[in-house]
Amino acid sequence: MTDNIITGLHAVLAALKNNRVQVEEIWVNEAREDKRVGEVVAAARAARVKVHQSPKAALDRMADGVRHQGVIARLRAMAARTEPQLETFLADLPAAPLLLVLDGVQDPHNLGACLRSADAAGAHGVIVPREHTAPLSAVARRAASGAAESIPVFQVVNLARCLRHLKDAGLWLVGASHDADVDIYHADLKGPTALVLGGEGKGLRRLTREHCDVLARIPMTGSVSSLNVSVAAGICLFEAVRQRRGTKPS
- pLDDT (tens digit, 9 = 90+) per residue, 162-215? 999 999 999 999 999 999 999 999 999 999 999 999 998 788 999 999 999 999
What is the predicted pLDDT for the residue at 202? 81
CATH number at residue 191: 3.40.1280.10
Asked whether residue 235 is domain-assigned, the answer is yes
Q: Which of 75, 107, 136 is the last residue of a domain?
A: 75
8: left (phi over 0), alpha (psi -120 to 50) or beta: left
Compute φ and ψ for 68, nearest 5 degrees: -120, -15
Do both 36 and 117 map to the same domain? Answer: no
Q: Which of 75, 102, 120 is the last residue of a domain?
A: 75
Asked whether residue 208 is domain-assigned, the answer is yes
How crowded is the C-beta side of 247, counted as CA atoms within 13 Å?
8
Asked whether residue 250 is domain-assigned, the answer is no
CATH number at residue 62: 3.30.1330.30
Are 123 and 154 a contacting pair, CB within 8 Å?
Answer: no
Asked whether residue 157 is domain-assigned, the answer is yes
Do both 153 and 51 map to the same domain? Answer: no
Find the domain containing 54 and state its range. 5-75
What is the predicted pLDDT for the residue at 2? 58
Which residues, in sequence order, are CB contacts of 128 under 8 Å at separation 6+?
Answer: 101, 102, 105, 111, 153, 154, 155, 156
Identity at 151, one-letter amino acid code: I
Do both 71 and 101 map to the same domain? Answer: no
Q: Which of 34, 53, 75 is the last residue of a domain?
A: 75
CA distances from 249 to 190, 232, 239 (A): 15, 17, 9
DSSP, collapsed to helix, strand or coil, labels residue 248 as coil
What is the predicted pLDDT for the residue at 39? 92
Do both 19 and 37 map to the same domain? Answer: yes
Asked whether residue 218 is domain-assigned, the answer is yes
Do both 137 and 36 map to the same domain? Answer: no
Q: Enumerate residue ranges in the chain where pLDDT < 70.
A: 1-3, 77-80, 247-250
What is the predicted pLDDT for the residue at 77? 61
Q: Model confidence over 66-85: pLDDT tens digits?
A: 889 999 998 876 556 888 88
What is the predicted pLDDT for the residue at 192? 96
Domain count along the chain:
2
Do both 153 and 112 map to the same domain? Answer: yes
Do both 16 and 105 map to the same domain? Answer: no
